[in-house]
Structure 1
Amino acid sequence: MRKYLQELVTEISHYLEILLSLILTIAMIFFAISLVANLPGFLISDVNNNHLFENILGRALTLAVGVELIKMLSKPSPGTVIEVLLFALTRQMIVDHPKMFDFLLGIIAVAILFAIRRYLFVKFDESTSIMIRGSQTLKMTKMIAHVSIDGPKEEKLRDYMTKRLQEEDHSISVGAVLNLGSFALRIDKMRGGLITRVEVIRDL
């Protein structure tokens, strides 16, 4: 019972992340429209040109941070986290005009983030993955993951994986991988001998 509740809470949290990213997307659209709508007013205003440019740049960079945050929530990965931090630091350094010491710390932080992205998270950036329920049909799997799978459209993904793994004499267990060329299917979760969740790994 406890394990089931943990899985349920985890599943709900995934949907809440998607809902939050959708809300942020709508907010970013209105924010972008507001920025474009205010451009004529900026051009004819008597505000100092440098101050005007900083105002526009600050709002644009805030929008960029919001977009990266949406990407992080909808498709969390080490790469998207690094990108959000990079955009946030860049905005802070360019718009807020920190003191020289703070500016130096910002440069060091950006350099560290680039080093982490380059040397630690490179493998995460080379492929993308998506989790799909084993009860989904091949037709829905193709639509959700944007992959091409040969098989009856109404066949369930778990049945397809079970059949193919048996054909290749592979064990049907968590972690088993079915390589299909440009992408792979990996058993992420099983219950009572049935495959309940499959990870689709693309861009291999």
Structure 2
Amino acid sequence: MEPEGKKKFKKIEKIISNVIMWLELVLALFILGAVILSCKDIVSLIYKVYVTEALGSYNVLQGLLSHVLLLVVGLELAMMLIKHHPGNVLEVMLYAIARKMLVSSSTTVELLLGVIALGLIFFIDKYLHIKDTEKLIK
């Protein structure tokens, strides 16, 4: 039989855990709402790419890619808050590094570090990360 104090501690621990889960869900919904509201900006950026002359369209296209990749990072972050799988953390990091490499004007050293970081993430995902434990059990 468990002592009374231990039962109360477990009950408080469960309540705090539930509150944290609900707060994470609310934060994920806020991120999702912000991403949905930002989709209108994608439409205007696509139109700008269409109407801008060839020489100026590079900067507009770079802005479009930056915006889209930022929204993808936001969606992956919301997914990470909801699902709590290690693979989601890897995906958030993957998209964030890819966005940094594709969008910002990086030096050669920054690009090399980005490539190494992406390679490390792919290595971890392939060799160290167990994707589906159900498939391994069957």
Residue 46 of structure 2 is matched in structure 1 by: 39
* Cα separation, 2, equivalents of 1:11 and 1:83: 25
Q: In the alignment, residue 74 of structure 1 is paired with which amino acid?
A: I
> Which of 1, 8, 13 is equivalent to 2:15?
8
Distance 2:22 2:58 in 1: 43
1:42-98 CA distances to partner (integer Å, 9 max, x unpaired)? Answer: 422457121111111111111111111111111110111100000000000110121
Indicate the residue corresponding to 1:53 in structure 2: 61
1:18 aligns with 2:25: yes
1:93 aligns with 2:68: no
Unpaired runs of 5+ residues, structure 2, are 1-7
Residue 114 (structure 1) aligned to one of 95, 115, 122: 122
Structure with the bigger percentage of helix: 2
What amino acid sits opposite 2:75 in the alignment? V
1:7 CA displacement: 1.5
Structure having greater relative contact order (Cα 8 Å, sep ≥ 6): 2
Separation in 2 of the partners of 1:76 and 1:36? Answer: 32
Higher-strand-fraction structure: 1
Identity of aligned residues (%): 29
The amino acid of 2:22's aligned partner reads Y
TM-score (normalizing by structure 2): 0.84
Distance in 2 between residues matched to 1:32 and 1:19, nearest whole Å: 20
Whichever of the two has the greater Rg, that structure is 1
Alpha-carbon distance in 1 for matches of 2:133, 2:34:
29
In structure 1, distance between residues paired with 2:109 and 2:46 = 34
Task: Please list every run of 5 or more consecutive structure 1 residues that lacks an aligned counterpart in the other structure.
Answer: 129-181, 183-203
Following TM superposition, by how much is the alpha carbon of 1:127 offset from its aligned partner in structure 2, in angstroms? Answer: 4.8
Corresponding residue SS for 2:29: helix
**Which of 36-45 and 21-30 deviates more?**
36-45
In the other structure, the counterpart of 2:5 is none
What does the per-residue CA deviation read over 1:4-49, in whole Å, with 9 as the maximum and x for residues that have no partner?
A: 2122111110111111111111111111122114432442245712
